[in-house]
Amino acid sequence: MKILITGGAGYIGSHTCVELLNKNNELIIVDNLSNSKYEAIKRIKQISGKEVKFYHTDILNEIEMDIIFQENNIEAVIHFAGSKAVGESCQIPLEYYKNNVTGSIKLFQMMQKHNVKKLVFSSSATVYGLNDNVPFKEEFPLSATNPYGRTKLMIEEILRDLYSSDNFWQISLLRYFNPVGAHPSGLLGEDPQGIPNNLMPFISQVAVGKLEKLRIFGNDYPTKDGTGVRDYIHVVDLAKGHLKALEKLREGHGCQPYNLGSGEGNSVLEVIQAFEEASNKKIPYEIVERRAGDIATSFADPSKANSKLEWKTKKTLLEMCADSWNWQRKNPKRY
């Protein structure tokens, strides 16, 4: 299949490209490299031993996107491109609405113009808002608590409306839980700019000696040990979910959301313990105030993806930590 991947140089996109190439798909990657490096594209080719077509383009650029659709016989799109930092989205909301919502609308218009109506969209568990009634099921009411989350919710709504207007569209809304880990080769991984916001890259940088200690945001939550509980999912398992979602689009299923998570929750202290075991390094930490906007517990009910997509996570928390550590150790100065 000939697939356009927006944001394919990024963390989840690059891992998904490798899995798609392993199954002999032809890829056209569009990325403006605002949060990634060209090196990731080289490494996708290195791991897979296959060629990809790369366009250093912004999805907001209608002229260039039109040419890309004209030059390539695209059959489906996987849309990763977007901005993803929750805190930053509160400081520069207009940039987030422009890049995520306007960028997505322009992409969908381009798809419509070129009659490409198969789409896999990167949504997020953030669309369940402050809901603490775990596990999260696809049919739960949706809400958002910050501009980033609202962009994901808006794009989901736009896609539901688009499908209602034209049933030829086939759309999967993949709600990722907490993607972590890296490619087992140590060649691809998460490459955050500056000080990481998320737990696993922060712990990795403490382990490698770049950061002094982890700050645990609260130990007074109503959870097993008082620290926040999340559903961590290995990025390679997540990448494979995209292949299953694409297969389903070919069969035709309408516009469907799927939770991509393991169905298990792990606390911050459990993640630290697993990382220490995987890396043989001590992770110093201190307990600080809760982070604004965090919920106590989030984990998926993945049964819809398990049955309808025939997809299930395979990798354990220990493997996620081992691969994160391997990536960090081999790339101490990032890509």
Q: What are phi and psi of 118, to 5 degrees?
A: -110, 125
| Run of H or E including 256 | strand 255-260
Question: With binding defined as CB under 6 A, does residue 215 bind ligand UFG?
Answer: yes
Q: Which residue is nearest to ligand UFG, using beta carbons?
A: 228
| Run of H or E including 267 | strand 266-267
Q: What are phi and psi of 200, to 5 degrees?
A: -65, -45
Q: Which stretch binds ligand UFG (CB under 6 A): 75-83, 122-130, 312-320, 323-331?
A: 122-130
Tell me how far, at minimum, the Cβ of 256 lies from ligand UFG, in Å: 18
Residues that bind ligand UFG (rule: CB under 6 A) add up to a total of: 21
Instruction: List binders of ligand UFG among 276-305 (CB under 6 A).
Output: 291, 294
Question: With binding defined as CB under 6 A, does residue 199 bind ligand UFG?
Answer: yes
User: 148 or 163, CB closer to ligand UFG?
Assistant: 148
The interface partner of residue 216, options being ligand NAD, ligand UFG, none and the CB cut-off 5 to 8 Å by kind, is: ligand UFG
Q: Which residue is nearest to ligand NAD, using beta carbons?
A: 10
Residue 249's identity, in one-letter code, is L
User: 69 or 232, CB closer to ligand UFG?
Assistant: 232
| Run of H or E including 122 | strand 118-124
Question: With binding defined as CB under 6 A, does residue 125 bind ligand UFG?
Answer: yes
Going 318 to 324 to 327 to 331, the CA torsion angle's sign is: negative
List residues binding ligand NAD (CB under 6 A).
Answer: 6-7, 9-13, 30-36, 58-60, 80-84, 99, 103, 122, 124, 176, 179
Distances (CA, A) of 278 to 155, 179, 201, 202, 204: 38, 18, 14, 15, 11
Residues 6+ apart with CB under 8 A from 81: 6, 7, 10, 13, 30, 31, 32, 59, 103, 107
Residue 148 catalytic? Answer: yes
Question: With binding defined as CB under 6 A, does residue 335 bind ligand UFG?
Answer: no
Token reading at 27 = 């890829």
User: 196 or 226, CB closer to ligand NAD?
Assistant: 196
Question: With binding defined as CB under 6 A, does residue 136 bind ligand UFG?
Answer: no
Query: Directed axis angle between helix 62-71 and helix 103-113, to 10°?
Result: 40
Provide the binding-site residues for ligand UFG, judged by CB under 6 A.
84, 86, 124-126, 176-178, 197-199, 202, 214-217, 228, 230, 268, 291, 294
